[in-house]
Structure 1
Amino acid sequence: MKSNDTINSLSIIPEELRLELRRLVNVEYDNVVNDMLAYIITRGLVTLYRVSRETPYSISSIYKKARYMVKNNLLTPRESNGRLNGKHMYEVTVKGLITCLAYKCLDDDVVLSKLKVRWNLKNYDMHRLVSILTVLPYIASNDNLRVLENIDTLMITALSTLINNPTMISKLIDERTITNVKNTSIYYLINNVINGISNNRKPDIILGNNSFLVGYYKNNRSLYVYICRLCEKNCVLAYITCNNDHGCPLTTELSKDVLNIVR
């Protein structure tokens, strides 16, 4: 979706993006769904009885609609640990939050704040979050929307799609958004996934393009190679020095001034 809509405090989600998200979630949306999403997003984990008590709908209508919303992954039931006599409590899924954004069941900033918490992106600004939402219709489809519930999987999917289909994606989304999502996904994966697995100290700078991704450590001028496909060695998770005594194509490539730097 190529768009120059300005993200501001009054309308964070561009209307064109709302339409794209509606097509993506592909649900039957009515006043009951709207009010249930708004109530549960605002209140958090809650019983359907409580939803019925504090909305204009009968308990039978709420239960009937809840079955539809659970089936379509807008709500998910949680066990109540016996405190409510075996009754379930319900919370909104990531798909439910995105559906609310698509139909504006609440103010955008409220829902985006909830989404940031659910995706563990609390330190990311709204612009980056909207960029991720912008690419969702092009990296996910209605039959695999459960990928939205796991931010690690979503970031890997986003980065892989943008790198492997650059021509197709660039025709649909503006380059600034593509770059923003690439950088965000790389930063997230390095800090939350790869470093978590390897237990390495975070690098000072991350450098990369479609062929390699490395972390640079200023104090000892060393590189940690997350992945490199510049030669037949296909290095993964390895330390190398910055000198080029061994004829490494990576260090040659890094000497060029054509790097994407993610701070």
Structure 2
Amino acid sequence: MSILRAVIENNGLTLYRLSRITGLAFSTVFKKTRKLSSRGIIVISKNGKCNSYSATVLGLIICLAKSCLDKEYVAFKLLKVMSASGVGDINELIKVLKAAASLATIRDV
């Protein structure tokens, strides 16, 4: 949960900075971010020579469900991401919520 929390609090982090914030080894953060990315919880964006990490709508919903941060803070971030990514259609939102419910048992977030 520490990686997801750090990504939500510090949008656009590099892997090195994520490692420093969480206190986890660089290789551990690398492996966990790849796993979180493959599950659609975070997105990895190329930013010059390095990658930056941001939470997806699914990642924010999981954080909201597991109370990894203040609910109002996460809800505000969720609102910003949803409006920026065009998740305005109710059916699309229901699809994301169902996917989040199926991933709610993830322990290594």
Q: Place the TM-score, normalised by the shorter chain, in its bin.
A: 0.7 to 0.9
1:124-174 CA-to-partner distances (Å, cap 9, x unmatched) read xxxxxxxxxxxxxxxxxxxxxxxxx6413x32x27xxxxxxxxxxxxxxxx
Q: Select the residue among 4, 23, 30 that pairs with 1:56.
A: 23
Q: CA deviation at 1:102?
A: 1.3
1:95 aligns with 2:62: no
- Superposed CA deviations along residues 169-227 of structure 1, whole A, max 9, x for unmatched, are xxxxxxxxxxxxxxxxxxxxxxxxxxxxxxxxxxxxxxxxxxxxxxxxxxxxxxxxxxx
1:117 corresponds to which residue? 80
CA separation in 2, counterparts of 1:150 and 1:117? 10
Q: Which whole-Å CA distance do the structure 2 matches of 1:89 and 1:59 have between them?
A: 14
CA distance in 1, matches of 2:24, 2:7: 14
Match of 1:99, as an amino acid? I
Percentage of identical aligned residues: 32
* The one of 20, 23, 44 aligned to 2:11: 44
Q: Which has the higher helix share?
A: 2
2:87 paired residue number: 151
Alpha-carbon distance between aligned partners in 1 of 2:86 and 2:32, rounded to the nearest angstrom: 25
SS of the aligned residue for 1:90 comes to: strand
SS of structure 2 residue aligned to 1:76: strand
CA distance in 2: counterparts of 1:98 and 1:70, whole angstroms: 15
Larger RCO, structures 1/2 (Cα 8 Å, 6+ apart): 2
Name the aligned partner's letter for residue 50 of structure 2: K
Partner of 1:105: 68
Q: How does 1:135-174 map to 2 (within 5 A)?
A: 150-152=86-88, 154-155=89-90, 157=91
Alpha-carbon distance in structure 2 between the residues aligned to 1:109 and 1:91: 18
Distance 1:92 1:65 in 2: 14
What residue is the counterpart of 2:32 in the other structure?
65
Q: Which amino acid aligns with 2:51?
A: H
Q: What is the root-mean-square deviation of aligned Cα atoms in Å?
A: 1.7
Q: Deviations over 1:203-259 (max 9, x none)?
A: xxxxxxxxxxxxxxxxxxxxxxxxxxxxxxxxxxxxxxxxxxxxxxxxxxxxxxxxx
Deviations 1:33-92 (A, max 9, x none): x11111111111111110101112101110010110000001111121x2xxx2111100
Q: Which whole-Å CA distance do the structure 2 matches of 1:150 and 1:64 have between them?
A: 29
* TM-score (norm: length of structure 1): 0.33
Name segments (4+ residues, structure 1) moved above 6 Å: none
With normalisation by structure 2, the TM-score equals 0.77
Where do residues 1-263 of structure 1 align in structure 2 (5 Å cutoff)? 34-80=1-47, 82=48, 86-120=49-83, 150-152=86-88, 154-155=89-90, 157=91
One-letter amino acid of the counterpart of residue 55, structure 2:
V
Larger Rg over CA atoms: 1
Alpha-carbon separation, structure 2, partners of 1:110 and 1:119: 14
- SS at 1:88 equivalent: strand
Unaligned runs of 5+ in 2: 93-109
